[in-house]
Every structure is written in structure tokens, then in C-alpha cells.
Amino acid sequence: MSSRSKILMYDTTLRDGTQGEGVSFSAQDKILLAQKIDAFGIDYIEGGWPGSNPRDMEFFTLMKDVSLKHARLAAFGSTRRAQLHVEDDPQVNQLVDAGTPVVTIFGKSWPLHVTEVIKTSLDQNLLMIKETVAFLKAEGKEIIYDAEHFFDGYKADHKYALATLRAAQEGGADYLVLCDTNGGTQLKEFGDIVQLVLKNHPDVPIGVHCHNDCGLGVALSLLGAEHGAGMIQGTINGYGERVGNANLTTIIANLHLKMNYPLNCADHLANLRDLSLEADKLANITPNKKEPFVGESAFAHKGGVHANAAKKVARSYEHMQPHLVGNRQRILMSDMSGSSSVAMKAKELGIH
Ligand SMILES: [Zn+2]
């Protein structure tokens, strides 16, 4: 099949996704969705931040009795507080108590955030990263290090941004994930920075975590894959803060069907539309008809000329076979419909 290396899918619908306006899951909803995401074959599921709210604590407690078939469950949290020893930090200890095989730790990459937001020194921040990663690693956890604001940090002070990654690597991080937290990074600079990091850290797999503020969340993620990122983080249907995270639903279809990357979820691609609809149902969100690949309009033909051609040769107006992602061709009736559209619609409805 393909000589490309496998890319691991990391879903943060249950954590970053819940920060989206209008998205609300109960602990039970989160369990149901985690099971759907697992059944689809996603590799990692970030379940929440146990230190941030009681619902996420409840979720991790309940998940101790739920076994996942394939996915590894991750608890998300931050580096220790500046004034505390790592072993005395309650937020860090809650990550241990969550009982997950994976912990994802985010730390600061951007001096602005270190000195102006968490108000500590640049050196202390490096210690916070290294010690938190090392402490959780010693607890037997797989550690994914999310470098928050990495691209903004890199542009402000590239030496410091790289030093934060080194601190995570020295602490024993299993993955270094470059986050475009504010979603403002452009394609060329993103590609250049990912390549540079890969050159600097040849021994640790790199991941990317993008947001869609410039409408580039999916494009940046795919570019990350092309430059060698081995993990992509995103959310089902692109839920997330502001205009959302990179849409994992779209990323998965592109990576496998268009770019030939092997994925562990590839065998379940025909369930992609179902997964998208299930997530909307649990989140109480009206499905987006125009969502690429899985939306109701993704393979809908309205113009008479298009419908006529699609009837003769589907691929004349369809970039792929809809059933590969669990979708279907639809012929829409309107004042633009010709006789072909009417005939196709009649066939679709079983009227001959
Ligand atoms: Zn994010």
C-alpha cells in the first residue's frame, strides 16, 4: 500500500472541544462519546482536565470501570505551579489519581505568557516543565507534552521556545506537541518551524495541535503530517474555543483517502459520518450540512447539468465515492432541476 509512516490520531473533543460555545457534555455523554471514538479506532482520547472541574473528575472516576478497545485515555493538566514542589501540587496529583495510562501536560513556550501571565521567571518555567514531566513519568505514565503557543513563542524568542522542548525531553516526554494555540500561524512559517523542531529533536516523535482561527486548522495539520509529525490532535467536527480546533473528521478523510497515510482508524472510515452525527447529537448541536466529506450536502447536486452528468458518471462532479466515509449522493429538486434530476430522484425514492 503506502510507504508513508503511520500517523496517530489524538482526539481532544472531550477537553478542548468542550471549550466551544454551545458544546456541553455531561460525564455520561463523555463516556458514550469516548466509547464511540474508541470504536472508530482513534489512538488517544483526551478525556478532560481533572483539576479544572468536578465533571471531569467524575468522568475519570467512572472511566476506571470502562475498558477501551484500542484508544489510550489521557488526562490533561498543566505544569506545577511556580511556588510549589511538584509532589505537593494538588493539580499534578489529581493527574496521577485520574488513573489514566497517558497524561498530557501543557507548558508555556512564549516568554510573554511566562512573565506576564503566570508571572514567573523564564528559568523557573523550564524547571516546572522538566520536573512535572519527570514526576509523572516516574508514576509510569506515557507523557505527551503540549507546548502551548509554540509558534508564537518561537517567533518571539526561538532559543527559549526550543529550550522549553528540551526541558520536556529531558524530563522524559514521549511526544512533543507543537500547539498553535491562538490559531494565527500561516502555512509557510508553520512548515518551516515544524521542520526545524524535527531537526533539533530527532529522537522524540513530534505532534501538532492546531486551531481554526484563520480557517487553516485542517491545512496546517496536514502540512504537519507532510513535514513528519507523527501525531495530529484535533476534535470531531472541529468543536473548540472561538471558531474551533482543527477538524479531526476532515483531517482523517484527507490523510487516508487523499494522501495515502496509513491510520489505525482506516478500517472504520465508512463510519466517519456516523461518528460525526453521534458527536453532534451528544453535544446538542445541529449538524453542519456543509462539513467536508460527512455533511449532508457534501455530495448533493442541485444544478440540472451537474445532476445529469453525475447520473452518467458519478465522478464527473464528485471528488470521491461518498460511501467510503458513510455518506451518499443526493439529488436536490428545485427550479434548476432538469428531467434527469427528476428521473434520479424518482429512482432514489423507488418510483419507476
Ligand atoms: Zn487547543
**DSSP assignment of 244-287, as one string?**
-B-BHHHHHHIIIIIT----TTGGGGGGHHHHHHHHHHHHT---
Give 141 Cα–ligand 1 centroid separation in angstroms. Answer: 22
Give residue 336's pLDDT.
Answer: 75
List, in sequence order, every residue forming a beta bridge with 10; answer none if it has no partner: 44, 233
Neighbours of 283 (CB within 10 A): 21
CB 60 within 8 A of CB 48: yes
Give 277 Cα–ligand 1 centroid separation in angstroms. Answer: 22
Tell me how far CA of residue 11 lies from CA of 92, 169, 239, 278, 289, in angstroms: 22, 22, 11, 15, 22
Give residue 1's pLDDT.
Answer: 43
Give 342 Cα–ligand 1 centroid separation in angstroms. Answer: 46
Give 348 Cα–ligand 1 centroid separation in angstroms. Answer: 42
Give residue 151's pLDDT.
Answer: 98
Give 76 Cα–ligand 1 centroid separation in angstroms. Answer: 11
Parse the chain into domains and list their residue ranges.
8-283, 300-348
Give 312 Cα–ligand 1 centroid separation in angstroms. Answer: 44
CB 77 within 8 A of CB 103: yes
Sequential pLDDT tens for the chain (352 residues): 457 899 999 999 999 999 998 898 999 999 999 999 999 999 999 999 998 889 999 999 999 999 999 999 999 999 999 999 999 999 999 999 999 999 999 999 999 989 998 999 999 999 999 999 999 999 999 999 999 999 999 999 999 999 999 999 999 999 999 999 999 999 999 999 999 999 998 899 999 999 999 999 999 999 999 999 999 999 999 999 999 999 999 999 999 999 999 999 999 999 999 999 999 999 999 999 999 999 999 999 887 788 788 778 888 889 999 999 999 999 888 877 777 778 777 887 888 7
Give 317 Cα–ligand 1 centroid separation in angstroms. Answer: 35
Give 177 Cα–ligand 1 centroid separation in angstroms. Answer: 11
Give 39 Cα–ligand 1 centroid separation in angstroms. Answer: 24
Give residue 190's pLDDT.
Answer: 98
Give 136 Cα–ligand 1 centroid separation in angstroms. Answer: 21
Give residue 315's pLDDT.
Answer: 86
DSSP character for 235? B
Give 209 Cα–ligand 1 centroid separation in angstroms. Answer: 6
Give 241 Cα–ligand 1 centroid separation in angstroms. Answer: 8
Give 245 Cα–ligand 1 centroid separation in angstroms. Answer: 6
DSSP character for 118? S
Give 339 Cα–ligand 1 centroid separation in angstroms. Answer: 49
CA–CA gap between residue 57 and residue 59 (Å, rounded)? 5
Give 214 Cα–ligand 1 centroid separation in angstroms. Answer: 14
Give 311 Cα–ligand 1 centroid separation in angstroms. Answer: 43
Residue ranges of alpha helices (H) inside the chain are 27-40, 54-63, 90-97, 111-112, 122-138, 150-156, 158-171, 187-200, 217-226, 248-253, 272-283, 304-312, 339-348
Superfamily the domain 8-283 falls into: Aldolase class I (3.20.20.70)
- Phi, psi values for residue 122, rounded to 5°: -65, -40
Query: Is 314 strand, coil or helix?
Result: helix
CB 299 within 8 A of CB 318: yes
Q: How many residues does the chain have?
A: 352
Grid look-up 455533511 returns 295
